[in-house]
Amino acid sequence: MRFRHRAAAGFATLLLPVAGLVGLASPAQAATSATATYAKTQDWGSGFEGKWTVKNTGTTTINSWTVEWDFPSGTKVTSGWDATVTGSGDHWTAKNLGWNGTLAPGASVSFGFNGSGSGAPTGCKLNGGSCDGTSVPGDAAPSAPGTPTASNVTDTSVRLSWAAATDDKGVKNYDVLRDGAKVATVTGTSHTDTGLAKGTDYSYTVQARDTADQTGPVSGAVKVRTTGQTEEPPPGDKVKLGYFTEWGVYGRNYHVKDLVTSGTAAKITHINYAFGNVVGGQCKLDDSYAATDKAYTADQSVSGQADTWDQPLRGNFNQLRQLKAKYPHIKVLYSFGGWTYSGGFGQAAQNPAAFAKSCKAVVEDPRWADVFDGIDIDWEYPNACGLTCDTSGPAAFRNLSQALRAEFGKDYLVTAAITADGSEGGKIDAADYGGAAQYLDWYNVMTYDYFGAFDKDGPTAPHSPLTSYNGIPQEGFNSAAAIAKLKAKGVPAGKLLLGIGFYGRGWTGVTQAAPGGAATGAAPGTYEAGIEDYKILKNSCPATGTIAGTAYAHCGNNWWSYDTPATIKSKMAWAKQQGLGGAFFWEFSGDTANGELAGAIDSGLK
C-alpha cells in the first residue's frame, strides 16, 4: 500500500476580483475589500476539480464571505469542501464554514469543489456586491450570538438557547452548528437537536445571518454529552485494530492461535480479516482453503480441539469463531480489496446497491454469519491510481459507502481503509471522503508507506513520519497533514484511526546514517526486497535515531525506517491529543512473539 508521486496537473487560472467582504465595522468605518482567485486544479475529461482562494486585500478584518458565480448550462458542482456550496439552476453560491469565515488583512482562505462539465465561472459576486474590487455592500455582517447554554439533555436530544446577535439592518435567522456542521436554521434563539447517539460528546455553536444573507462570526462553543452508554466502542475506550492476512497461514506460518499465545488478543478490540476479493463488481471469498477448509490439530487450534473431516466450517473462520468465544470483546470485520484486489471497485461503483448486496451475502453466509461484525472496504484508490487507475469520479466512494450502510444497516460496523496522501491536490482530494464519513463508523487512515525503495535511488526517508520535517521528500506525506486535511473536509476526529506499520522499509547502497542519503536499490527482505518485519529488524538492524516521530537505522550498507514501542507510544499520545478514535496496524505477523508493538498501542491509548 504505497503512495506514488503525483504528476503536476495542468490547470487554467481565472482571476476574479471579489469585493465587499464586510467586517464587523460600524457603518461609519470603511469597508474592507478582497479578491478571489479561481483555478481548475484537475481535469479528468468528464469532470474537474476547482479551487477558490479568497484573500483580504483591505485594512479591516473580514468576518464572513459569500462567493457567487454562474456556470454555463451543462456545468455544475457535484461536491465541495471547506465551504457550504449550493446551486440554483446555473447559479452557485459558496459560504464560509464556522471556522474559516474570519480573515485578517492580508490573510487568505481556500475552498474547493468537484464539478462535471467543462465550463468556467462567470458573473462573480460577493455578498451581493460587484466583483470589481471597489463596489461593496453597505451593511455590516451581524455580531456573534451569545454562547449557547444546554438543557434537557437526554440519550438522543438536547435543548440549546442563546442570546441574540445584533445587526444594523436586522437578524434574519441563526444557523445551529454541531461539531462545526450546520444541523438547523431557526428564526428564534433556541433549538432542540434530536437524533443524537447516547453517551456521546458534541460541541455546539451558533451563527447569525442578516437580511442581506451575510453570516457573522460563530458564537462560543458549549460541549454536551448525551446520557446513556454507548455500545461500540465503550465510553472513553479507543479502537485498537489489527489486520489478519488470509495468506499468512502459509509462508509466514501465522495463525489465529498466535493472537492468544502472544497475548495480543487481550490488547485489541477489532480484527480486520484481509482480504476478500472484488470481481465483476461483486464481493467474493478469495482463498476458500485458508478461510474455511484448512484443518487444525488440537495443539494448533484456539479451543484446543482438533477439526474433524465432516464439520461444516474449518480454516481461519472457525478459528476466529473460537477466538471470539474466548475473547467476547473482540469484533471481526471482513475486509475487501487491498492493493491487489482494488481493481474491481470501479465496476462496483457503477451499481453500488448490487455491490453492497453481494458483500452482505458473503459476510452473512450461514456457515460463518456469527464470525463477522461488519465489513471494511480497502479501495486503493477511488478516482486515483494505485496498482491500477480508477476513473469512476469523486462521488463514487461516497455512493458506495452510502449503499453499504443502507444494505448492512445500523447493527453492522461499516468502515474503510483510505489513503493518507495529504499533499495539495493529492489522493485525499480526489474523492469525497468528507461526504462518505456520515455512512461509516471510522476510517483506517493508512499513514505509512509514504517513502520507500520503490524510489530506488532514495533519498532515504521514514516510511511513516508523524509530522513533516526539514528535507522531507514530499510535503503532505505525513500523518499530521493527512489527519488535518480529513478533519478540514468534515470528517469527525473520532472517526479517524491512526495507522501503524509493523514492518520497516529500507534501501541498500547507503553510506549516510541520517535521513536524506542516496541509495542504489531495495535492501534485502525475507519476503520482499525493501520490506522487513519489525520482529526481524529490532535485532538485525537496531534503531540508531528518530525523525518525525519514527525510528530509523543504519547498519552496514542498509538503511531502514520503522516504528518501535517507544515511537508508537508517542504516536498514541498524539492520537489522543488529536481526539482520534484509536489506531490500527498492518499486520499481526510482523510483531514479536510476545506482541510488544500491539502492547505499545494498547498502553499508549489508555
**Catalytic positions, please?**
380
Distance (Å, whole) CA 263 – CA 244: 15
Is the distance from CB of 270 to CB of 224 less than 8 angstroms? no
Q: Which residues of 383-420 are buried (b: 16+ CB within 10 A; e: fewer)?
A: bbebeeebebbbbbbbbbbbbbbebbeeebbbbbbbbb
Is the distance from CB of 275 to CB of 337 less than 8 angstroms? yes
Distance (Å, whole) CA 249 – CA 288: 13
| Distances 589 to 257, 286, 524 between C-alpha atoms, Å | 12, 20, 18
Distance (Å, whole) CA 457 – CA 60: 50
Distance (Å, whole) CA 112 – CA 79: 9
DSSP 184-209: EEESSSEEEE-SPPTT-EEEEEEEEE
Report the interhelical angle of 352-363 vs 396-408 (nearest 10°): 40
Distance (Å, whole) CA 48 – CA 77: 9
Q: Helix, strand or coil for residue 63? A: coil
Is the distance from CB of 541 to CB of 558 less than 8 angstroms? yes
Sign for the pseudo-dihedral over CA of 224, 229, 233, 237: positive
Torsion-angle region of residue 106: left (phi > 0), alpha (psi -120 to 50) or beta? left
Q: Which residues of 489-516 are buried (b: 16+ CB within 10 A; e: fewer)?
A: bbbbebbbbbbbbbbbbbbbbbeeeebe
Is the distance from CB of 559 to CB of 523 less than 8 angstroms? yes
Pairing of strands 282-284, 270-279: antiparallel
Is the distance from CB of 121 to CB of 90 less than 8 angstroms? no
Torsion-angle region of residue 231: left (phi > 0), alpha (psi -120 to 50) or beta? alpha
Distance (Å, whole) CA 332 – CA 604: 22
The 10 Å Cβ neighbour count of residue 563 is: 30
Distance (Å, whole) CA 184 – CA 266: 43
Distance (Å, whole) CA 575 – CA 572: 5
Residue 397: all three cell numbers together: 466512494
Residue with grid cell 456545468, as numbered in its chain: 75
Backbone angles phi, psi at 259, to 5 degrees: -65, -30
- Dihedral angle computed from the Cα positions of residues 409, 421, 590 and 240, in that order, rounded to the nearest 10 degrees: -40
Q: Letter for the amino acid at 445?
A: V
Sign for the pseudo-dihedral over CA of 23, 28, 29, 33: positive
